[in-house]
Amino acid sequence: MSNSTTTTDGPPRTGQSRLGRGLNALFDSKTTGRAAISAAAGAPREGAGLKHIDIDRIQSNPFQPRCDFDEAALQELVTSLKTHGVLQPLLVRPHGDGYQLVAGERRLRAARAAGLAKVPCFVRSMEDREVNEAALEENIKREDLNVLEKAEAFRRYLDTFGGTINDLARRLSMTRSNVNNILRLLELSEPVKDALRNDRISYGHARCLLALDATGQKRALAAIERDDLSVRATEALVRRL
């Protein structure tokens, strides 16, 4: 397998994305401040850009990078919402006759499961690129987001909006090498990607296997799972294959 650096050609970067300043940059500081005070006293109240929207009018974010949600953690959130309601507003944008979620997928899912009719939301007009970036910002640095989901989200962003790995790294406040290493996981054979997606091997194991072709990856994966090899032991195995 080639060890060449992955590159993506695209239009030059123009201007500083709000993503680089964090998801809070999408909110007006006065608005979020008032909402925080309101939330501290209970459920957020309407006003200062905050609306309570019928939950059936909110579509999920099509750019959501997370495919799997921890059911136990989600159920805990459902229980909390039944008692306290949604204390942290969602971020949505106008879409068709309703709204489309920008940030707050877990809260939206839990609110639906809890049977809530309305949820507090900030409404912002945003382009597709901004919606995708907000979804990345909300999810990409969470430790429980599988690294392969990150890789797929990175590739989907670059394929959809263009730009280079350097651009994406700057937007996510990550190093270029980190973004590139994650993207290279998509070069792995399907059995290895399946093992990584289902936490049967770690990110470190997967990076070791990139040095092998598909046949070598299959042999190494079998050894890792059979003998419960550490990353260091896997590195030694790869050198022998």
Asked whether 101 and 59 are in contact (CB, 8 A), the reply is: yes
Question: In whole angstroms, what is the distance from residue 93 CA to residue 3 CA?
Answer: 41
Q: Which residue has the tokens 């500083």?
A: 16
Higher pLDDT, 17 or 210: 210
Question: Does residue 7 fall inside a structural domain?
Answer: no
Q: How confident is the model at residue 141 (pLDDT cuts 50, 70, 90)?
A: low
Which of these is catalytic: 105, 133, 138, 152? 105
Question: Does residue 147 fall inside a structural domain?
Answer: yes
Domain boundary among 126, 148, 182: 126
95 and 50 assigned to the same domain:
yes
- Given a cut of 80, is residue 11 above it in pLDDT? no
63 and 105 assigned to the same domain:
yes
102 and 179 assigned to the same domain:
no
149 and 224 assigned to the same domain:
yes
115 and 146 assigned to the same domain:
no
- pLDDT of the residue at 220: 97
Q: How confident is the model at residue 41 (pLDDT cuts 50, 70, 90)?
A: very low
CATH number for the domain that contains residue 154: 1.10.10.2830
114 and 216 assigned to the same domain:
no
Question: Does residue 173 fall inside a structural domain?
Answer: yes
104 and 167 assigned to the same domain:
no
Question: Does residue 17 fall inside a structural domain?
Answer: no
Domain boundary among 92, 126, 160: 126
The pLDDT mean for the chain works out to: 81
3-state secondary structure of 47: strand
- Given a cut of 80, is residue 66 above it in pLDDT? no
Q: Which residue has the tokens 């957020």?
A: 44
169 and 75 assigned to the same domain:
no
Question: Does residue 38 fall inside a structural domain?
Answer: yes
138 and 225 assigned to the same domain:
yes
135 and 85 assigned to the same domain:
no
Asked whether 22 and 137 are in contact (CB, 8 A), the reply is: yes
Least confident range of 36-40, 69-73, 77-81, 213-217: 36-40
Question: Does residue 231 fall inside a structural domain?
Answer: yes
- Nearest-CA neighbor of 25 among 103, 128, 111? 103
Q: How confident is the model at residue 34 (pLDDT cuts 50, 70, 90)?
A: very low
Q: How confident is the model at residue 138 (pLDDT cuts 50, 70, 90)?
A: confident
Question: Does residue 70 fall inside a structural domain?
Answer: yes
157 and 138 assigned to the same domain:
yes
Q: How confident is the model at residue 143 (pLDDT cuts 50, 70, 90)?
A: low
Domain boundary among 126, 161, 179: 126
Task: Say whether 105 is catalytic.
Answer: yes
Question: Does residue 9 fall inside a structural domain?
Answer: no
- Given a cut of 90, is residue 105 above it in pLDDT? no
Neighbours of 89 (CB within 10 A): 28
Domain total in the chain: 2
Give the range of the structural domain holding residue 155, as residue numbers without chain letter. Answer: 130-240
Q: How confident is the model at residue 43 (pLDDT cuts 50, 70, 90)?
A: low
Question: In whole angstroms, what is the distance from residue 157 CA to residue 169 CA?
Answer: 12
CATH number for the domain that contains residue 86: 3.90.1530.30
Helices 214-227, 231-240: crossing angle, 10 deg rounding: 140
Query: Which strands form 50-54's sheet, in the order they lie side by side?
Result: 50-54, 118-123, 90-95, 98-103, 58-59
- Given a cut of 80, is residue 33 above it in pLDDT? no
137 and 173 assigned to the same domain:
yes
pTM summary value: 0.63
